[in-house]
Amino acid sequence: MIKKLLLASAATALLTGAASAADLPRRAAPPPVFTPVPVFTWTGAYFGINAGYAFDASDRNTGNTFAVPFPYAAPGTVASFRNRSQDGFSGGGQIGYNWQLTPGSGVVFGIEADAQYLDFGRNRNNAFVAGALAPGYYVTDPRGLSSLDFFGTVRGRLGYAFDRTLVYGTGGFAYGSGSADRSFGGYAGNDSFRTGWAVGGGVEYALPTDSFLNFFRSSAVTLKVEGLYVNLDRNTRNQGAFVINAANNFPVVYSGIGRRSDEFAVVRAGLNYKFGSY
């Protein structure tokens, strides 16, 4: 009898404990871990390549006819230089750095330098001669853009970013030079190097980090389309048409026209590899 009472008491205690445990509040589950999505920023260094098309933007309506003096030509001989447009391929590379004031959308400013090849040389200046040149002489006009073989710029950039899209304006210092061949006056004394300015603008877009183009494992790959106007001052040194002695490739007569500028525009597409912040 006593054994039955003990067993009944133990069973009652167990049932009471289980019921009390069921009434206790349950432990709350831990909150989910929040991982913030990285915000893209344009801040960082970059380098890249570009290619496009350059075309003449200067006015060549004056000074294209040159009277060749005796004894380098028969009396009355006139050389006329074609007033034709010059254009061609342009390609090169760039390097720069951007700063963005606020990640995501916001003001972006930076600096960029580039160096470009120019294919203006395929349309070399030539002359139509009405009359007869003396043997051993030829005429040329070094004023054309055909004398430009390369140019470069160092520019500031200022724009506004809409997340991964950047709209910007740019402007700064420009320089250029050409070869001292017949199209450029035919001798090394000609002032081939010139400086000036450039201004333009463009749109740039940052591709996702996992883009197939990102073989440098940079923080972003960006694509851009850009237009640039370049004005290079030719100064006042030997800027007219030349009569050249073919034996030594040296000018014997030139017609000075004073200061003038070489102006051209470039439309190009580029690809940049950005490093630094995400």
Residue 106 lies in a domain: yes
DSSP 50-107: EEEEEEE-S---SS-EEEPPTTSB-TT-EEEE-----EEEEEEEEEEEEEESSSSSEE
The CATH number covering residue 141 comes to 2.40.160.20
DSSP-based helix, strand, coil % in the chain, nearest 5: 10, 50, 40
Give yes or no for residue 90 having a pLDDT over 70.
Answer: yes
Residue 191 lies in a domain: yes
Give yes or no for residue 46 having a pLDDT over 80.
Answer: yes
Gap between the terminal Cα atoms of the chain? 81
Give the count of domains, the chain: 1
Rounded to whole angstroms, how far apart are CA atoms 173 and 171? 7
Residue 24 lies in a domain: no
Residues 127/244, Cβ–Cβ less than 8 Å: no
Residue 68 lies in a domain: yes
Residue 31 lies in a domain: no
Residue 83 lies in a domain: yes
Single-letter residue type at 62: T
Strand partners, 254: 242
Which domain, by its residues, includes 130? 40-274
Residue 25 lies in a domain: no
Q: Convert the pLDDT of each residue in 117-171 to its tens digit.
A: 988 755 455 667 888 999 999 887 655 555 678 899 999 999 999 999 999 999 9
Average pLDDT over residues 246-267: 75
Residue with the two structure tokens 């342009």: 90
Q: How many CB atoms lie within 10 A of CB 154?
A: 14
- Residue of higher predicted confidence among 162 and 209: 162
Average pLDDT over residues 44-73: 82
Give yes or no for residue 189 having a pLDDT over 70.
Answer: no
Residue 11 lies in a domain: no
∠ CA(129), CA(134), CA(136), 5° rounding? 105
Is the entire prediction scored with pTM above 0.75? no
